[in-house]
Structure 1
């Protein structure tokens, strides 16, 4: 009698287990192929649209410096064209126009830095950590240069009567030197930045973690250009911690997307 009860109990347990397997869509459904999963989570490369912004900023900067030099020569240093200058400028002093243009150019530099930082932060969230770090300081330099230039202009304009007493129009010459030096340094920074972004868009690289995994798959020696996630001799601990934080943030977003894709593909296979 006991053997019959035991046999019946095992039979019921086996039936329940079989039913639970049949009711579980993750076990009963077909396995998701790796190719389908990779194609589902693979993101299309997004180019950085900041090169044309840098180009427009360069044109605006060159135009400002050119207009400032013309105004200084025709309307500021000499009085030969004072009547024409008043007519063109609607009675506004040439010095005021140059200084207002300088302030407006700083606003453009600030807007450029904010716009570029937005796009670079988005690239960092997509996993391009190395590119973000290599261009982080470069994209800030134009704004820093013009901020320092504004401070230098204040130092020159404030004591301009005293400077002009010693040397005629000395403050004007110093102002022109400042804006020309700003133009030179800013053009160098924007040119280097544009070259790096164009190269990045042309290479269309995969996220850093994918590049590192691919490198380890085909080579035993990791390249020094790949993302460093551990501490090495001579490494800055602060830099290593920052790299790890960026990598962890990217992997969390990647895992979240992966989980959503798995659930989506699983439910799609169940319906099919």
Structure 2
């Protein structure tokens, strides 16, 4: 009885090995999916960042606001003619108050733009574009920082209680400096995002994988801790790799399902 037990287990193990090998052979004999096909599938799913339109509209509104503020200051505050027109349009509201109300509205628009840009850039980061997210991290917040600093300067001018003429000149100076700083930032941001949308590049991990595939040394993608790299950078790289692998597996499953349906 004891001699039969091992033989039965051996036969069962042999049958399991044979069935397992047959299953592996059937998978090997099936159509293979090339890496180029997966990369092309990922490239077709590229989603653009729509914020250049918002940045362009915000830049236009900023320029229009500054031009209108200069007109109101010259015609209604400094009173270089057209006083009746100002009274008919503004009624009993002071010209400098109108300029300040417009500044508050512009700051709210900049705040909404910053939130919208943060949302779309976070989505791009979740799709694997961590390098682009880091590059634009400070740039997309810069217009809000400039406008907030301008608001602080305006509060200082209001608290100083200067003469009306000096007060309006200081106000226009702050608005002009703010325009000269914020507008180039928005234009540079627009150019960078449009360049990103035009390139339609693959996710960062996919690019690293492709570069290491054709490199001479054939080193693996760096996802662990290395000397000189910060812990935050390593964690972000690992998160990016996990997100990319999830997307890679999803695309692979879809391709396998399509091939199975064709057969």
TM-score over 0.5 for the pair: yes
Please report the RMSD computed on the Cα atoms of aligned residues, expressed in angstroms: 3.4
Greater mean deviation of Cα atoms: 73-82 or 92-101: 73-82
Aligned pairs, number:
257
Q: Provide the C-alpha distance between the structure 1 equivalents of 2:177 and 2:77, rounded to a whole number of angstroms.
A: 20
CA distance in structure 2 between the partners assigned to 1:245 and 1:4 by the alignment: 56
Gaps of 5+ in 2: none
* Pair 1:63-2:59 in alignment: no
Q: Deviations over 1:164-203 (max 9, x none)?
A: 1xxx610110000000000000111112112211222222
Deviates more, 1:199-208 or 1:101-110: 199-208
Give how far 1:86 is off. Answer: 1.4
Q: Give structure 1 stretches of 5+ with no counterpart.
A: none
TM-score where L is the length of structure 2: 0.82
Task: Deviation per CA, 1:212-262: give whole Å up to 9, x if none.
Answer: 23333334589xxx9996545xx4x5xx32222222112222223334445
Partners of 1:183 and 1:74 in 2: how far apart?
21
Q: TM-score, normalised by structure 1?
A: 0.79
Name the structure 2 match of 1:258: 248
Task: Please give the alpha-carbon distance, in whole angstroms, between the structure 2 residues aligned to 1:4 and 1:145.
Answer: 85
Most deviating of 115-124 and 27-36 = 27-36
**Preserved contact between residue 128 and residue 208 of structure 1 (Cα < 8 Å):** yes
Counterpart residue number, 2:38: 38
The answer to whether the Cα contact below 8 Å between 1:32 and 1:265 also exists between their aligned partners in 2 is: no
Alpha-carbon distance between aligned partners in 1 of 2:75 and 2:49, rounded to the nearest angstrom: 42
Cα distance in 1 for partners of 2:7, 2:213 equals 53
Shift in alpha-carbon separation, 1:91–1:6, aligned structure 2, 3 A: closer
Contact between 2:110 and 2:144, CA under 8 Å: does it hold in 1? yes
Residues 4-54 of structure 1, C-alpha deviations (whole Å, 9 max, x = no match): 9987776566556556777x6x77445451328726862422222111111
